[in-house]
Amino acid sequence: MIDRERLANLFKSLVEIDSVSRNERAIANEIRKVAESLGAICHVDDSEKRTGSDTGNLILKFKGNRPMEPLLLSAHMDTVEPGCGVKPVFKDGIFTSDGTTILGADDKSAIAIILEVIRILVENEQPHCPLEFVLTTCEEIGLLGAKNLDFSLITAKKGYVLDTSDIGVIVNRAPAANRLELNVFGKDAHAGVAPEQGISAIVLASRAIAGLKLGRIDHETTCNIGVINGGVAINIVPKMVSIQGEVRSHDNHKLNRITENIVNVFQSVIDGWQGDEESSESPSLEYKIEKDFPFTNIPEDHPVISIAQKAASNLGRSVKSKSTGGGADANIFFEQGIVAGVIGTGMKDMHSVRESIRLDDMVQTAELLIEIIRLHSA
């Protein structure tokens, strides 16, 4: 049923369109052209005013031929660097780039699959519920498109986001995350002439970081310090250092407790500093905590999960539910009351010049999606 050659050609044409985050207009226009030829009603929201993209999120609505509630299908249009001038190579059934850029299977394989599925439904006049195809911008730089999506344009309350690797899983649990920025302030001084007159912000920050437990905290919680910036020259006691990190957890209590502990450890180091009794200056701390994304927790018996598993079984396959440590647009949808499981397209080694995807995996995902839609529409 899947037209393999057509799917391959569509995927190839999509990855050849540059769409690094905040530059998604060209690919949005191409997707819109294809979708409108299939009868879609297209909407573009005004999220670009807040994301900095050159276009808003794209919402494509296919009315279906069954009077039922719509089903959400979603993917993101942006890619990471190096993502310009992609030259796809197809050999032995596998797509790669030429090795100088990413491929862009993350997440253009999903877009190609969904468009091929919709084309099949239209061409064969298959019974199906209304479909809402949501294509976001700026997913790769903090889920910004989804965070700023105009949800008044969306009526679906359940669906699927295609944005993971393994075609044999559906992600039903993902953590919430907090983003932290801590700025430690000391006092600058000449490092060779009068170091005792300075207060090294880097030393203070290092002591605080050394007092943290980082990495995997437990089976559902992680913590990381990822960026440190500070100092201006090797002969100057550094006055300021900035530290950026994150905490993720499937448990909001743990998320907030560990976030608070990080701040407390830094503050304790600052408060414990002892300098020259004659000095009136002391170090200080400023910090900012932002909720990066909320958690997703879909029950095992929810129709989004059970129907996907039934669809796989009907095809002689299996799909297992999975908990992940990553975030996706599905996290944002979940907070807005839209239950969306995340399914895979087969993409491998994403965010690297070694990225690849098998055409067979794309075909299998398309077949699964058609069966999911059939069961939802029954």
pLDDT digits over 119-170, tens only? Answer: 999 999 999 999 999 999 999 999 999 999 999 999 999 999 999 999 999 9
The pairing of beta strand 215-218 with beta strand 356-358: unpaired
Q: Which helix (H) or strand (E) holds 100?
A: none
Q: Judge if the upstream peptide bond of residue 276 is cis by omega within 30 degrees of 0.
A: no
Give the chain's domains with CATH numbers: 4-174+295-377 (3.40.630.10), 176-293 (3.30.70.360)
As annotated, the active-site residues are: 78, 139
> What does the buried/exposed string (b/e) look like for 21-50 if buried means 16 or more CB atoms within 10 Å of the residue's CB?
bbbbbebbebbbebbeeeebeebbbebbee
Q: What is the pLDDT of residue 277?
A: 58
For the chain, what is the mean pLDDT?
Answer: 96
DSSP letter (8 states) at residue 282: -
Give the angle subtended at the CA of 360 by the CAs of 298 and 346, to the nearest 5°.
40
What is the b/e burial string over 327-351, where b = at least 16 CB atoms within 10 angstroms of the residue's CB?
Answer: bbbbbbbbbeebbbbbbbbbbbbbe
Return the pLDDT at 278: 59
Mean pLDDT of the 270-285 span = 82
75-120 pLDDT per residue, tens: 999 999 999 999 999 999 999 999 999 999 999 999 999 999 999 9
Contact between 74 and 134 (Cβ < 8 Å):
yes
Mind listing the pLDDT tens digit for each residue in 333-347?
999 999 999 999 999
pLDDT of residue 276: 66
* Residue 275: predicted pLDDT: 74
The phi, psi pair for 237, rounded to 5°, reads -60, 125
**320-323/169-174 β-pairing:** parallel
**Residue 279, pLDDT above cutoff 70:** no
Note the pLDDT tens digit of each residue in 178-234.
999 999 999 999 999 999 999 999 999 999 999 999 999 999 999 999 999 999 999
8 Å CB contact between 53 and 139: no
Distance CA 361, CA 126 (A): 23
The answer, yes or no, to whether residue 322 has pLDDT greater than 70, is: yes
pLDDT tens figures, 260-270: 999 999 999 99
Measure the CA–CA gap between 212 and 283, rounded to whole angstroms: 20
Q: Which single residue is written with the structure tokens 């980082």?
A: 214
Residue 91, pLDDT score: 98
